[in-house]
Every structure is written in structure tokens, then in C-alpha cells.
């Protein structure tokens, strides 16, 4: 997880209270054994959270995970992110990915328990599965199903010479599947869940490039009833955050839609959401792509790594979906059901010219 705090406008410090702000939080600041209580107190603040009765993912011991990774041997190291280091392990005969919370990292205890609570509520083919968790004193670890092809990000940017780029059909398949996962969060949960950190590095790939959304540490419950938004401190990753969220801290389901629109552009163009190595007018992908789409300069936006092997019709359609998603005004963006339907249609019309 990254943070948009460098872009915040009056969002640092205490959250401002808003009539539409929901007091309910997904994450507690307590240990799993305390989650049956309905409220905790920390520093004079009371935080209401969802009870953990019926959690599917078991609590694991640190010793079990130490054995699973052969004492977190270097040969099992997979990578490092905002949460901390990630290792591959074997648990009950199955490969798993184990994240270790870095106490000095960008994420903390709240994000840890948010992840546990969210993933225990969810079950969908396009959402990563939580196998278990460990919360022994200072040791906090999350155990996920192992996704052998890694993150979408590693298949788009800075590819080594011996790695083939994703073909067009595979890219559309990944986007369609990821949209299904986001649709489950927005539509099939009550209250809806706002991911708040949709990006390529949080889309993991399994066999056959099957995509699953991951990393729910920043997730928030969406507005219900007459509420139009949730007011919260601005968090997320630069380049993906919706403009209105950056300006006011007002979070809605359509904030995720903006982020997903940026992901669509990344998949199509092979460019990062924010790239400081490019010229000033090309650093922000959404701002660079929007006028080109308006001018119908579609071919300029296709990833050169595709070598022209894509359906022109599908390219235009996918860019049109992205354009709608990154509208600066939230209410002009489509619902995730519309996005998922459009991408499913594009994906189903496989391009015969793809490699």
C-alpha cells in the first residue's frame, strides 16, 4: 500500500466528523480473541467494529508458520511491500504466501485486522483467499493462498528481455475478472465494501492468468441509507486516488471506479499510473491519456509491447470504459456492474490477431 498523504488537502491529523460519516469500521484495534466485543477504546476514542463470530480463517501459531517457511529461509522470500516481507511456505501440504507485518512499515495493527475481517466476510473466485492469520504479541502475520504468477504489475512494467509481454486477450481476461471481484465488494456485500487501494500490484494472478484482488488493509464500509459518502483520512496510492477523494476525504464506491479506470489504462498502455521518469505532461497516466482518447488517437495509447497485435475495435471499447471510469466528477462514472459487463463483453470477443 502506498499513501496519498503527500497530495492531501487538510486530511492530515484527526478525521473531521461529517453527518454522513459512518461510525462503523471494518477493523478493530484489538486482538482476534477480543473481537467478540462490540467496541474497543484506544486513546479516549471508541471504535465500533464488526464482530468476528464465525470467522472462517483459523488463528495460527508463529511456530507453525516458522516451520512452514523453514524459519523464513531466504530461498522462500517472494518480495516486500508496504505490509512487510512475503515468504512462500507449505501449510498442510498446500503452498501459501505468508506476509509478516513490519512494525516500522506503512501499515499497522488496524490494517492487519481490517484485512482479517474483510477477507473472512468474503468468498469469491476473484478475491484472494485468506488461509489464516497469526497475532501473537508483536508477531502479526497473514497467510494467503499462493498465487504462482505474482502480481499484474510484474507482467506489465520493466519486463526483462526473456519475459514475454501479456497478449491482448489475456489483458482483457484479467481486467474482466478483476472487475468481477470489485463488483462482489460493491454489490454482493451488505454494507458494500470500498477497497480504497485498487491497483495493479494488488491484482494477483493464478494459473491461466486468473486474477484475484488482494490487499484489503485500507478497506472501508461504504455509505448506506441516506448517506452519500464516508468521510475519512485520505489514504491510497498516488496516481490512483479519485480527485474528489483527494480534495475532501469524501469516499464513495465511485472512488474505486476511478482507481480501476487507471488500472485499465495501465493494462492497455503498459505505462505506470504515475511515472516521474517521463516528461511533465506524461507523468500522470490519466491526465496524459484523457486528451488522446478525446482526440481518438487510440493507437498511440496501445502498449508498444503488443506490436500491433490487438483488435482495434476492442481497443476503442476498452479505452471508452477507462475514459468513463476516470471522469473527474464522481457521479459521471459508471457503476461497477456496468464496468464489469462491458469488460466481460470485450473479453468474450477474443481477438484473432493477438499473439
Least confident range of 2-16, 98-112, 218-232, 252-266: 2-16
Least confident range of 13-17, 68-72, 120-124: 13-17
In the numeric block, which cell numbers belong to residue 184? 462482489
| Nearest CA among 236, 219, 249 for reference residue 11 | 249
**CA–CA separation, 184 vs 124, rounded Å?**
7
Is pLDDT at 106 greater than 60 in this prediction?
no
Mean pLDDT of the chain: 84
Per-position DSSP letters for 214-267, written without gaps between them? ---TT-EEPP-TT---EE----S-TTTS-HHHHHH-EE-HHHHHHHHHHHHHHH
pLDDT, tens only, 272-306? 999 999 999 999 999 999 999 999 999 999 999 99
Positions marked active-site: 197
In the numeric block, which cell numbers belong to residue 267? 493494462
Which pLDDT value is given to residue 94? 95
In the numeric block, which cell numbers belong to residue 262? 487507471
Query: Tell me: domain 152-348, CATH 1.10.510.10, correct?
Result: yes
**Domain ranges, ordered by start, for the chain:** 22-146, 152-348
Which pLDDT value is given to residue 55? 57
Q: Helix, strand or coil for residue 95?
A: strand
**What is the helix, strand, coil percentage profile of the chain, to 5?**
35, 20, 45
Least confident range of 2-6, 126-130, 337-341: 2-6
What CATH superfamily is the domain 22-146?
Answer: Phosphorylase Kinase; domain 1 (3.30.200.20)
Tell me, yes or no, if the two domains 22-146 and 152-348 fold the same way: no
How many Cα neighbours within 13 Å face the side chain of 307? 7
pLDDT, tens only, 24-74? 333 333 444 444 333 323 333 333 333 344 556 788 999 999 999 999 999
Residue 236 Cα to chain centre, angstroms: 9
Which pLDDT value is given to residue 181? 98
Amino acid at each position: 500500500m502506498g499513501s496519498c498523504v503527500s497530495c492531501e488537502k487538510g486530511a492530515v491529523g484527526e478525521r473531521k466528523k461529517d453527518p454522513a460519516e459512518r461510525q462503523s469500521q471494518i477493523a478493530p484495534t484489538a486482538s482476534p480473541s477480543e473481537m467478540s466485543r462490540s467496541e474497543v477504546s484506544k486513546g479516549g476514542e471508541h471504535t465500533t467494529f464488526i464482530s468476528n463470530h464465525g470467522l472462517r480463517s483459523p488463528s495460527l501459531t508463529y511456530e507453525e508458520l516458522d516451520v512452514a517457511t523453514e524459519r523464513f529461509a531466504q530461498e522462500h522470500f517472494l518480495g516486500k511491500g508496504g505490509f512487510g516481507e512475503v515468504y512462500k511456505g507449505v501449510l498442510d501440504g498446500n503452498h501459501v504466501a505468508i506476509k509478516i507485518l513490519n512494525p516500522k512499515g506503512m501499515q499497522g495493527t488496524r490494517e492487519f485486522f481490517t484485512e482479517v475481517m474483510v477477507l473472512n466476510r468474503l468468498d469469491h473466485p476473484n478475491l484472494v483467499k485468506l488461509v489464516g492469520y497469526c497475532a501473537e504479541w508483536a508477531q502479526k502475520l497473514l497467510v494467503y493462498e499462493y498465487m504462482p504468477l505474482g502480481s499484474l504489475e510484474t507482467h506489465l512494467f520493466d519486463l526483462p528481455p526473456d519475459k514475454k509481454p501479456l497478449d491482448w486477450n489475456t489483458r482483457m481476461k484479467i481486467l474482466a475478472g478483476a472487475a468481477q471481484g470489485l463488483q462482489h465488494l460493491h454489490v454482493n456485500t451488505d454494507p458494500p465494501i470500498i477497497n480504497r487501494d485498487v491497483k495493479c500490484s494488488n491484482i494477483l494472478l493464478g494459473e491461466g492468468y486468473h486474477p484475484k484482488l488482494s490487499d484489503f488493509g485500507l478497506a472501508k464500509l461504504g455509505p448506506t441509507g441516506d448517506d452519500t459518502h464516508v468521510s475519512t483520512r485520505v489514504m491510497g496510492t498516488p496516481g490512483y486516488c479519485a480527485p474528489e477523494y483527494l480534495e475532501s476525504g469524501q469516499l464513495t464506491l465511485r472512488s474505486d471506479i476511478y482507481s480501476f479506470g487507471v488500472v485499465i489504462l495501465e493494462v492497455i498502455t503498459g505505462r505506470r499510473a504515475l511515472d516521474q521518469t517521463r516528461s511533465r505532461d506524461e507523468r500522470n497516466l490519466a491526465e496524459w491519456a484523457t486528451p488522446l482518447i478525446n482526440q481518438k488517437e487510440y493507437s498511440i495509447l496501445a502498449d508498444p509491447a503488443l506490436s500491433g497485435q490487438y483488435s482495434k475495435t476492442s481497443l476503442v471499447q476498452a479505452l471508452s470504459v477507462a475514459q468513463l471510469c476516470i471522469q473527474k466528477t464522481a457521479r459521471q462514472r459508471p457503476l461497477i456492474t456496468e464496468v464489469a459487463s462491458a469488460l466481460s463483453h470485450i473479453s468474450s470477443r477474443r481477438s484473432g490477431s493477438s499473439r
